[in-house]
Structure 1
């Protein structure tokens, strides 16, 4: 995979955006489940059904696939996942290829699995066994016999408490890197382009047929995952965080006392944009819960292959049950999808930027809002426009962002740049992406894996690393957690800082004209907006 050029810190312009389109090939484009395998969590995608696929050898084309699916999910159960992960040290699995979707053929396998680095094959049979092979080497179809001291075969299931692991016979090669299905000598997968395995114990690997596959060589499913090491914890965090109750209170106070730089603006308006299931609505619910002091679910969330959010919502947040309203509004949108005719319409995003969309407007993927549409707001002020855009990306799916999705995000960013709107990127689900962070959230800025994903997002989307912020939403908890709150408040505090940049630019524009800064700058930090502060018409 070829990385795009990293941009320098600072505001990014259209020339920058043109240069950061991903150059990755389509080996991962259709898959959208780069996550801890088998984990079904809030806002994750549900399994897709394919009633038109009647035979396992049916090959779905890329174009038809994209039209009938929004995600592909693993067939591993949680129990099987844990057993498989136990064969590796601090690793994550990323689904590259699923034969029931992409085809039980060698060509389909190589099209998605060549040059992917360390991979593990996961084969399923009717006997209930999960078995396969691991290699640390690339598949490149060289035709050579490849030696790999780290390669092994394995089997999960049956009456065993632990997985069966079989290493390569000393002096033997691990696999033949040809154009057929993966050939590990003792096990040849996708034999003759069929959902079947050829078993030859003693050829490179020794095992008993009954133990490995239960003498059942017909496959019900066949998957390949990239094995990605999580690495160790950094000696020093790449960002310094104070994980104390004092810091939490300091952040809360800072947010509650925030005042926009322009006197006529009452609240900073922040737009949440991102793919389906990234955690946009959950981010609002988490912020709302943290300030109220108890779990809330004002924004509807759920698990679906399409966006649960179908209306434009502008949410205010209260500081406690009977507290005052915070000086910001979080605007939630329908999720982005790869296809042009599904998910959030980019023209609608521009209308939101400019303040023309009213709260509770019903989105339509087929058409964008028009001036005569119900919910269109003709006369807007700076109170109605967006002051900061927050892109929300699932950390578990960074590696599998398709070019179509990147193109949509790039188009949105260009529009935001043209309007001078600052942008920030939120990495959600960091606890699901890294077990070390799940164990202790304080490891979020010490995790080698999280840092790597942050840098990848910076590269892929052309956003400076300083604008990329990890965050954990509340999803399964019943009680609030101090460390989770601190991470949420830090993100919100930074968002308000970036919103100030928007207001500063508005002030400069007014200074270039005839209006004086005293009309717009919040000089008195204790100022309460009065009825005499007339909004600026835009």
Structure 2
């Protein structure tokens, strides 16, 4: 079977009491994928899985997903899976046979009718393991104790759950535990921009629709390093942007209040007919806009605004732009908003500024995260699909799409929410470092002047 989880339920009932090939096919044909489970008199449990339906075709059916298995040997759990090696002979769909796997046959349960002998059902089939399945050194004796005497045989229909957690994560991370969380916090506490450039802080610009979670991301990061839930930046849902002032927020480390070596820049929200545009973002990214600039739709940014930084240095510039997107609204993103985003991206690409997407509110689209834990985010096929979709929309690699849950209704910090937020921030800072390395390359190639660097 593939990586997705599945639920199984018995097809009508156990075969127990009706070991008859005709009855088997009448109850189990056209049920899709099935699992056949045999329980023998020695406490061994074994069987086979096929992803194709039984149909009374009278021929072998091709199935490259089929496998045999053992769950118990003599009452002791010893699970092992035996994959099909000759898919063309995966199952024998003979109307006179019970469930039969492999050419030869690897597992031929019975034909016709088998009656109870007073203690068990002595199946009249055969088990010639190894013809069409890789038995990994196991044999008739180690799988079914050298006989086909069973107390029961059950056939289950397998129904894949498309939204169930994946067995293997689609994005690998270290194990989520307190140690990993502390390592993330320490790494970010000790983060410093590229020392050759002699700047104190990396600058990250947050851009996104109204209510997407820009200000909430700052509040989330701020809360983690404060040690309790804070709401320093105004956040929430409103028809128009709650952010009307350009802010360059400091994140301070714990009770000492010492600023960390990065700033999060919050700007007004993207809207279809208003909000940040290509003209504004150029001024912001180039470092011209002062902290606490009041946005005024009737007064575009220009060198005449109060506090305009005429000759910005590298330390004033934006080193990475994070587009903040609500994962629950990706499919209904207004066309005009998307056009505005693309316009911003064009300006950013021209300036060589790295871009990432913070994919917020993942708990709103994925029940795995709501019902279980944020730590399951990379096991969620739903989030994986949203990441893939946003990657296509934005024209960015999937590694640049970072799922996130901000603190919203919580009154206390949650280790898993904090872990995901810090992993996201750490990756954003690494992209900011990429900008600085590119800048350093240009500097060393003589294409920039040293005076463009200011501490």
Regarding TM over 0.5, the answer is yes
Q: Is the 8 A contact 2:241 2:269 kept in 1?
A: yes
CA distance in 1, matches of 2:409, 2:188: 26
Map 1:42-441 → 2, pairs under 5 A: 231-241=163-173, 242-261=175-194, 262-339=196-273, 342-439=274-371, 440-441=373-374
CA distance in 2, matches of 1:485, 1:230: 28
Structure 1 residue 536 and structure 2 residue 449: aligned?
no
CA distance in 1, matches of 2:317, 2:447: 22
2:427 equivalent among 478, 494, 513 = 494
Q: Is the 8 A contact 2:197 2:440 kept in 1?
A: no
Structure 1 residue 477 and structure 2 residue 394: aligned?
no
Between Structure 1 and Structure 2, how many residues are aligned? Answer: 293
1:357 partner SS: coil
1:383 partner SS: helix
* Runs of 4+ with deviation above 4 angstroms: none
CA distance in 1, matches of 2:309, 2:400: 31
1:321 partner SS: helix
Structure 1 residue 449 and structure 2 residue 382: aligned?
yes
Q: Is the 8 A contact 2:249 2:264 kept in 1?
A: yes
CA distance in 1, matches of 2:297, 2:397: 31
Q: Deviations over 1:490-532 (max 9, x none)?
A: 011101110111111111111111889xx8xxxxxxxxxxxxx
1:504 equivalent among 414, 419, 437 = 437
Q: Give, in angstroms, the shift of residue 401 of structure 1.
A: 0.9
CA distance in 2, matches of 1:321, 1:430: 31
CA distance in 1, matches of 2:253, 2:435: 25
CA distance in 2, matches of 1:365, 1:465: 35
Q: Is the 8 A contact 1:264 1:535 kept in 2?
A: no
Q: Is the 8 A contact 1:344 1:365 kept in 2?
A: no
Q: Deviations over 1:442-476 (max 9, x none)?
A: 22111111111110000111111110010110000
| Bigger RCO (CA 8 Å, 6+ sep) | 1
Q: Is the 8 A contact 1:380 1:537 kept in 2?
A: no
CA distance in 1, matches of 2:296, 2:329: 26
Aligned to 1:164: none
- Can you give the 5+ residue segments of structure 1 that lack an aligned partner in the other structure? 1-88, 90-228, 520-533
Answer with 1 or 2: which has the greater Rg.
Answer: 2
CA distance in 1, matches of 2:278, 2:446: 32
